[in-house]
Amino acid sequence: MLGRYGRLLKYTPLLLVVYILYISRRQQLFERFLANSSIEFSDFPPVYADALVDAQKENKNPDYKWPKLANPPPEEQTTIPPNIHFIWFPNLYHEHLDVSQIPAIGSDAPRLCREHNPDYNIWTWNETASRQLLEDHYSWFIPTYDAYRYPIQRVDAIKYFVLYHYGGVYMDLDIACRRPLDPLLPFPAWYPKATPFGVNNDLMATRARHPLTLLQLKQLTPRNKNLLFPYLTIFWSTGPQFTSDLLKMWYFAPWGGQSREYIPGTSKENSDPDTVYCLPLPFYSEQYTFFGHSPGGTWHGDDVKVVLWLVDHPLFFGIIPVGVFVVFMSALRLRRKRGNSGVEGGKLN
């Protein structure tokens, strides 16, 4: 048995290195895809792009009257329709009111979005309406929906169903509009860039029936796994990691993103209706932002500190498997050494 283990261990370091290089290369290609697919100033009408630059230079406040676009994008299946979706499940965050009370006590986000986008359809989905949507159109998902261990997983799941069914812009209640969103609609879909890797899911926008969103719906049930820690379970099963992984799957799949990837230098306006774009940090943060942010993280538990530390120190994602391997090797060698000592002792007796 030890001989068989020995042959396996002989090649394990090489296999581990190859695996780490493979994962690193895929992540590098995915990050390059997000960078190449970023929405830029040149994608906005000149009058709006100029207003954004002037506001940043002059540090103008959110009350600045942004120019109204003469011809807003039509509500078609090839572009994002003028819909804004919020989700509010009352008392969802009762265990963490010390972190943030925004969803529990109400949010100004719907009002501010209506103020800046008076012609948009703005919905705030509650538990009853969310479940009715599933019962009417997606009853196959209800067993998974009911089986979720944490309520926030149901909120996350509804995000994808709402976007697939109606299309539009989804926003968490700790995000609000600071100006008209019209320049962000003439795209099939976009996701905001996360740091250091991937995309976020607190803000998303897609056209209705986008195939990437359909892929997300189909993968919610297979990803419903308990990873012991609440944050990890939520993060991976329905949260930001789920969104990033599914976009990565879409990009690398032979039937997915590579055939519909945006080619830098071409017109985004005439791109394939299934193309997915990335909303870069300047348009998602406080620099040229279309959105305002309040402190969030209401679903974070105590285990989040460890995970966020690892996110801020990505080198440890490579060190951890190496460390596990070293511990395994040391334990096996100690076992072999003890076994050999026992045999030698038998000979002496």
Using CA atoms, how far apart are residues 259 and 253, in angstroms rounded to an integer?
9
Q: Tell me: the pLDDT tens digits for 209-259?
A: 999 999 999 999 999 999 988 889 999 999 999 999 999 998 887 654 445
* Positions of the chain with pLDDT lower than 70, given as ranges: 1-11, 58-65, 70-77, 91-106, 254-267, 269-270, 286, 294-349
- Residue 97 has a pLDDT of 38
- CA dihedral of 52, 58, 63, 65, whole degrees rounded to 10: -50
pTM of structure: 0.77
- Residue 263 has a pLDDT of 67
Which residues does 288 contact at the CB level (< 8 Å), separation at least 6? 52, 53, 55, 56, 282
| Architecture in CATH of 37-304 | Alpha-Beta Complex (3.90)
- Residue 101 has a pLDDT of 40
- Residue 98 has a pLDDT of 38
- Residue 310 has a pLDDT of 44
- Residue 70 has a pLDDT of 63
- Residue 107 has a pLDDT of 74
- Residue 23 has a pLDDT of 84
- Residue 223 has a pLDDT of 96
The domains of the chain are located at 2-18+313-348, 37-304
- Residue 312 has a pLDDT of 44
